[in-house]
């Protein structure tokens, strides 16, 4: 590790602790991580020229080439400089031994410089107060005194890094990353020390709370309390089972959080109750076991004495028969413990070894006992246990208190009691676990079942919630009716034509406000129909009323969809019909496949639970992540070239634009298309695409959508992907290079390059930039994606569209929001646009806002399949007809991706390393021979200045499809990548 002073770890007790713990138990992954970190340590450092996907490209670090062509010397120098720069950042350690942090550290306050949030340019003075583990700031100290901070950070959950030389401190607090500068060296030291102290204090606080929470098996805590205990909802206190629903991970947002967090929390509550009960059960079983051993001894004695009795003929034949029965039964049931079937099974001599056996079975957590709880037969009850273990009653009746059998009988009865209790507990737990499973599934299940879900769920913890939801909906229905009536009146009086959904904005907002709690979570997972939908509320609410508040969300969704079609919005589900059927009648959603391609990936995503990403990443703050090889489990089974083709998922918008007369309308559709590129990232924060190898290509021919797409990895350092797509109606091309910044808890991806769309029919040429993507909560359970910045679309007619992607914030509900405007060449506003990049884009203002685009529904089990949409599922499908048509460089032939797709992680890992190594060797060989790699299908034009990162343009050479048509790939001596 060159130079970076390693004094840091992630808040140990929080996010990463569990992962680390698991690492210890997973030698395979430990091995992987080790080899990865070794590779990391070889890698180059750079703070500036980061690129997308942290893949291994440590060629330079390993290159045996000593004398490089002179052109590379400068490059080398720059690298060295960058290396030094990267090395200056120190990460503030979290204290492994959190002792002595319980004393409240003294408060520190003063003026510091804070970098502006967005764009990250310029510094301003702010007044900071560091108190009880949190850092607050405001413009003036008076604001803080009045309890009105502008921002505040929980230091216990943040990653702090510092650069002494520049008196800089960065605090990555999940949603926000604060960049702070201290005026003088002395003050810097003071602040840094204080920050460390406060962080330790806060972490200690969180840790003891966590411990307390574990101890007090949670029934005491209401689900809501639990969530509130963690102000940021992360760091091990908040456990959410829903994948990718970023809202549930947006801790401070109160909007709908109650409803969303309820189920997972309830599941947690049930689970911890269950584990307490199981603990008790274990104790019971242990004592029952002791009892059993005792009993066995008694039985031995008893059997001896009864044998002697029988020899004296004092026992009836019936009793003998019964006793035999008992012995046989025991033999049958405890055959594994009985050594000699001729012997009475329960002899005193078995106790040592057998009790050891029983012990093992009871204490081994993998024993069938602990595993079989859910499958425990409900029919198995106390009486069957009685039958198995107790002597027949006829025997008991005959025993006198002095009989050795008396002891046995007492013991047996006691044992029966104990076992019955255990069974009861087990049955109870089984029910509870069933509930947990239901709760968990319901959280992510499609909304068509939601009415029922709520009802069932309401049985234990949610009735008041359901009642209040019903109440809210009822009120909304009433309000709607009133407003509708008023609107009707106004309409008939004024005869004003009102376009689009005939509701006022205020109603929409009312509706949203009142129904937000329930409605959002009701319909979320199946269709992204959500609070920002502007579908006709009449139908929706009438439906709700008609079904007596137990709304059928699938109908809601259909309403929404029809409406969208009427309104001219484009969505995959509505237009392609490629998703689960919304027919509430059909029990199983029907998967319609209009493309003939596969509808499912071969295997679900592997678990990343054992992976300590933090261990891997902590040494890389400030490094160029393109040089860091990441374990393959962090990948989704497609490459960046394929991921980029997903930007054409909603190409219908371009088709529509090419048929639209009005140039401003066209711009609106182009804007929707630009926003739609981000639609899928919402549920895809967990994995990154594979970094394409230099020379790798990917084509995507979609006859159904009428376009063909081709892309190539044209540069490796920095990684640049170029792509081109064409259809009857449009041309689309872009070259993209992604700068990556790693802040400690989050990673920022800043794509450079321009997206181009040409509509030949109108001679329109549109260009736009990309906004920044940020993956938050990298090391916590669930990562979530934010996208922010301005996306500006211009065209050759002087029409402009500016779209602002809002940065998520704790305090406002603007997360994922996009707001924009279309202006004419004079800068006059023509259209207003608004919506959410993960939910849809609307044009206009209320009451006539219309939906221009919304994402299609995701497959039902998308959480287990990398969050892939149907479009994404199809990308890596190697149809037999394509095998002989595609060039060998096509991503579909890439073995590591294929292996990952099939769920073979070790195979994928090995293959990935091999491919990367081969690439390294190719590069070294090329360097030695002075050969520069020339992309095959794209050419570089207009590179005026290397400093101007956007100076390079990659243009499609228009030779690919001809070569393909003439089956020329085989003779072309294309680069062998695998």
Ligand X SMILES: CC(C)CCC[C@@H](C)[C@H]1CC[C@H]2[C@@H]3CC=C4C[C@@H](O)CC[C@]4(C)[C@H]3CC[C@]12C
Q: How far apart are CA 776 and CA 749, in angstroms?
A: 11
Q: How far apart are CA 650 and CA 673, in angstroms?
A: 7
Binding residue for ligand X, selected from 236, 300, 411, 689, defined by CB under 6 A:
689
Q: How far apart are CA 568 and CA 562, in angstroms?
A: 10
Contact flags string 756-775 toward ligand X, x per CB under 6 A? --------------x--x-x
Please give the span between the terminal C-alpha atoms of the chain, in angstroms, as a whole number: 31
Residue 89 CB, shortest distance to ligand X, in Å, is 19
Looking only at residues 466 through 505 of this chain, which bind ligand X when binding is defined by CB under 6 A?
none
Name which of 722 and 747 has its Cβ closer to ligand X.
Answer: 747
Name which of 785 and 908 has its Cβ closer to ligand X.
Answer: 785
What is the rounded (10 degree) CA torsion for 806, 812, 816, 819? -50
Name which of 747 and 977 has its Cβ closer to ligand X.
Answer: 747
781 binds ligand X (CB under 6 A): no
792 binds ligand X (CB under 6 A): no
CB distance 49 to 618 below 8 Å: no
- CA atoms within 13 A of residue 501's CA, in its CB half-sphere: 32
Name which of 474 and 953 has its Cβ closer to ligand X.
Answer: 953
702 binds ligand X (CB under 6 A): no
Q: How many residues does the chain have?
A: 978
Q: How far apart are CA 380 and CA 731, in angstroms?
A: 68
- Other beta carbons within 10 Å of 400: 7
- Other beta carbons within 10 Å of 638: 27
Name which of 542 and 754 has its Cβ closer to ligand X.
Answer: 754
Structure tokens at 786: 């934010």
Binding residue for ligand X, selected from 40, 628, 738, 806, defined by CB under 6 A:
738
634 binds ligand X (CB under 6 A): yes
Residue 812 CB, shortest distance to ligand X, in Å, is 23
Name which of 502 and 754 has its Cβ closer to ligand X.
Answer: 754
Which stretch, 530-538, 590-598, 687-695, 835-843, contacts ligand X (CB under 6 A)? 687-695
Q: How far apart are CA 141 and CA 196, in angstroms?
A: 23
Structure tokens at 532: 């920002």
Looking only at residues 48 through 107 of this chain, which bind ligand X when binding is defined by CB under 6 A?
52
687 closest CA partner among 514, 859, 901: 901
Dihedral sign for Cα 218, 222, 223, 225, please: negative
Binding residue for ligand X, selected from 435, 685, 873, 908, defined by CB under 6 A:
685
Name which of 507 and 616 has its Cβ closer to ligand X.
Answer: 616
CB distance 300 to 348 below 8 Å: yes
Name which of 293 and 644 has its Cβ closer to ligand X.
Answer: 644
835 binds ligand X (CB under 6 A): no
Q: How far apart are CA 354 and CA 710, in angstroms?
A: 69
Residue 860 CB, shortest distance to ligand X, in Å, is 22
Which stretch, 180-188, 473-481, 536-544, 679-687, contacts ligand X (CB under 6 A)? 679-687
Residue 462 CB, shortest distance to ligand X, in Å, is 33
Residue 51 CB, shortest distance to ligand X, in Å, is 10
Name which of 476 and 841 has its Cβ closer to ligand X.
Answer: 841
Name which of 98 and 640 has its Cβ closer to ligand X.
Answer: 640
Name which of 708 and 770 has its Cβ closer to ligand X.
Answer: 770
Kindly state the DSSP code that residue 570 receives in the 8-state scheme.
B
List of long-range contacts for 725-728, beta carbons under 8 Å, 24+ apart: 725/645, 725/648, 725/651, 725/700, 727/651, 727/654, 727/655
Place of tokens 């602790």: 17
Residue 778 CB, shortest distance to ligand X, in Å, is 6
Q: How far apart are CA 620 and CA 768, in angstroms?
A: 32
Strand (E) positions, 94-146? 108-115, 123-131, 134-138
687 binds ligand X (CB under 6 A): yes
Name which of 678 and 816 has its Cβ closer to ligand X.
Answer: 678
Kindly state the DSSP code that residue 591 receives in the 8-state scheme.
B
Name which of 191 and 614 has its Cβ closer to ligand X.
Answer: 614
Residue 373 CB, shortest distance to ligand X, in Å, is 35
3-state secondary structure of 177: strand
Residue 738 CB, shortest distance to ligand X, in Å, is 5
Name which of 197 and 646 has its Cβ closer to ligand X.
Answer: 646
Which stretch, 240-248, 333-341, 391-399, 684-692, contacts ligand X (CB under 6 A)? 684-692
Residue 751 CB, shortest distance to ligand X, in Å, is 5
Looking only at residues 639 through 678 of this chain, which bind ligand X when binding is defined by CB under 6 A?
643, 647, 677-678
Please name the residues in contact with 102: beta carbons below 8 A apart, sequence gap of 6 or more. Answer: 201, 204, 205, 208
Which stretch, 172-180, 399-407, 744-752, 804-812, contacts ligand X (CB under 6 A)? 744-752
Binding residue for ligand X, selected from 749, 865, 954, 960, defined by CB under 6 A:
749
Q: How far apart are CA 564 and CA 533, in angstroms?
A: 10
Q: How many residues line the site for ligand X (CB under 6 A)?
A: 21
Q: How far apart are CA 909 and CA 165, in angstroms?
A: 40
Dihedral sign for Cα 640, 777, 246, 505, please: negative
Helix H or strand E encompassing 910: helix 905-929
**Which residue sits closest to ligand X, CB atoms considered?**
688
Kindly state the DSSP code that residue 949 receives in the 8-state scheme.
T
688 binds ligand X (CB under 6 A): yes
Binding residue for ligand X, selected from 500, 560, 751, 935, defined by CB under 6 A:
751
Residue 688 CB, shortest distance to ligand X, in Å, is 4
Q: Which residues of this protein are in contact with ligand X, per CB under 6 A?
A: 52, 634, 643, 647, 677-678, 681, 684-685, 687-689, 738, 747, 749, 751, 770, 773, 775, 778, 785
């Amino acid at each position: 590790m060159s130079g970076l002073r390693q004094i840091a770890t992630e808040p140990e007790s929080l996010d990463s602790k569990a992962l680390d713990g698991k690492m210890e138990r997973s030698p395979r992954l430990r091995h992987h991580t080790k080899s990865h970190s070794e590779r990391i340590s070889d890698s180059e450092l750079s703070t500036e020229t980061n690129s997308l996907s942290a893949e291994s490209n440590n060629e330079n670090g390993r290159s045996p080439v000593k004398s490089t062509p002179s052109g590379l010397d400068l490059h080398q120098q720059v690298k060295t400089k960058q290396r030094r720069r990267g090395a200056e950042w120190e990460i503030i350690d979290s204290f492994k031994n959190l002792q002595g942090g319980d004393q409240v550290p003294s408060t520190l306050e003063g003026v510091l410089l804070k970098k502006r949030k967005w764009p990250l340019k310029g510094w301003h003075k702010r007044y900071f107060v560091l108190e009880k583990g949190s850092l607050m700031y405001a413009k003036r100290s008076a604001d803080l005194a009045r309890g009105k901070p502008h921002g505040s950070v929980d230091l216990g959950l943040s990653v702090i890094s510092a650069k002494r030389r520049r008196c800089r401190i960065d605090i990555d607090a999940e949603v926000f990353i604060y960049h702070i500068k201290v005026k003088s060296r002395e003050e810097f030291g003071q602040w840094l020390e204080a920050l460390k102290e406060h962080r330790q204090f806060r972490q200690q606080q969180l840790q003891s709370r966590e411990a307390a929470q574990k101890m007090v098996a949670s029934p005491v805590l209401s689900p809501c309390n639990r969530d509130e205990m963690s102000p940021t909802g992360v760091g091990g206190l908040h456990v959410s089972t829903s994948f990718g629903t970023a809202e549930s991970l947006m801790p401070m947002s109160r909007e709908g959080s109650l409803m969303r967090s309820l189920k997972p929390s309830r599941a947690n509550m049930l689970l911890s109750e269950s584990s307490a009960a199981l603990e008790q059960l274990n104790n019971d079983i242990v004592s029952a076991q002791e009892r059993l051993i005792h009993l066995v001894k008694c039985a031995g004695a008893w059997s001896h004495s009864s044998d002697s009795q029988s020899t004296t003929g004092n026992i009836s034949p019936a009793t003998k028969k019964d006793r035999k029965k008992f012995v046989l039964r025991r033999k049958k049931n405890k055959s594994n413990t009985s050594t000699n079937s001729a012997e009475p099974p329960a002899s005193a001599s078995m106790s040592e070894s057998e009790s050891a056996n029983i012990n093992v079975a009871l204490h081994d957590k993998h024993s069938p006992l602990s595993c079989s709880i859910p499958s425990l037969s409900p029919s198995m009850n106390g009486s069957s246990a009685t039958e198995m273990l107790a002597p027949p009653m006829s025997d008991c009746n005959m025993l006198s208190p002095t009989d050795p059998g008396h002891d046995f009988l007492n013991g047996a009865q006691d044992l029966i009691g104990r076992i019955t209790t255990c069974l009861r507990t087990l049955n109870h737990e089984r029910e509870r676990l069933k509930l947990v499973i239901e709760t968990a599934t319901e959280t992510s299940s499609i909304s068509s079942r939601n009415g029922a879900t709520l009802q069932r769920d309401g049985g234990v913890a949610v009735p008041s919630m359901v009642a209040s939801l019903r109440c809210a909906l009822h009120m909304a229905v009433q309000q709607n009716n009133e407003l509708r009536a008023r609107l009707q009146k106004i309409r008939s009086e004024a005869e004003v034509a009102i376009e689009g959904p005939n509701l006022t904005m205020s109603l929409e907002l009312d509706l949203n406000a009142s129904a937000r709690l329930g409605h959002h979570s009701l319909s979320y997972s199946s269709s992204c129909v959500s609070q920002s939908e502007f579908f006709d509320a009449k139908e929706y609410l009438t439906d709700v009323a008609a079904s007596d508040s137990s709304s059928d969300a699938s109908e809601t969704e259909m309403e929404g969809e029809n409406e969208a079609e009427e309104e001219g919005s484009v969505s995959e589900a509505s237009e392609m019909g490629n998703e689960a059927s919304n027919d509430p009648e059909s029990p199983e959603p029907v998967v319609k496949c209009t493309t003939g391609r596969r509808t499912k990936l071969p295997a679900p995503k592997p678990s990343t639970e054992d992976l300590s990403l933090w261990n891997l990443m902590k040494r890389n703050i400030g490094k160029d992540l393109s040089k860091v090889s990441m374990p393959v489990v962090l990948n989704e089974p497609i490459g960046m070239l394929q991921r980029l083709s997903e930007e054409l998922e909603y190409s219908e918008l371009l088709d529509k634009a090419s048929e639209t007369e009005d140039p401003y309308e066209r711009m609106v559709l182009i804007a929707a298309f630009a926003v739609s590129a981000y639609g899928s990232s919402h549920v895809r924060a967990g994995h990154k695409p594979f970094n394409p190898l230099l020379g790798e290509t990917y084509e995507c021919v979609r006859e159904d959508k009428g376009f063909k797409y081709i892309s190539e990895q044209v540069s490796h350092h920095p990684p640049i992907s170029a792509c081109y797509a064409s259809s009857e109606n449009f041309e689309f091309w872009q070259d993209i290079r992604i700068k990556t910044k790693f802040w400690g808890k989050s990673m920022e991806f800043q794509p450079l390059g321009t997206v181009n769309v040409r509509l030949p029919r109108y001679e329109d040429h549109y260009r736009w930039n990309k906004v920044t993507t940020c993956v938050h909560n990298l090391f916590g359970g669930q990562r979530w994606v934010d996208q922010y910045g301005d996306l500006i679309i211009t065209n050759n007619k002087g029409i402009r569209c500016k779209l602002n992607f809002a940065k998520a914030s704790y305090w406002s509900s603007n997360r994922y929001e996009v707001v924009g405007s279309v202006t004419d060449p004079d800068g006059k506003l023509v259209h207003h646009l608004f919506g959410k990049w993960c939910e849809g884009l609307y044009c206009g203002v209320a009451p006539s806002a219309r939906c221009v685009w919304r994402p299609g529904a995701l497959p039902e089990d998308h959480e287990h399949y990398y969050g892939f949409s149907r479009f994404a599922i199809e990308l890596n499908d190697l149809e037999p007809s394509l095998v002989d048509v595609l060039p060998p460089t096509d991503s579909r032939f890439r073995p590591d991706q294929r292996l990952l797709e099939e769920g073979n992680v070790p195979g994928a890992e090995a293959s990935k390393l091999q491919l990367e190594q081969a690439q390294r060797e190719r590069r070294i060989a090329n360097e030695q021979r002075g050969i520069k790699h020339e992309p095959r299908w794209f050419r570089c034009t207009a590179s005026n200045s290397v400093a101007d990162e956007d100076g390079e343009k990659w243009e499609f050479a228009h030779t690919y499809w001809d070569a393909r048509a003439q089956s020329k790939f085989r003779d072309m001596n294309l680069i062998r990548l695998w």
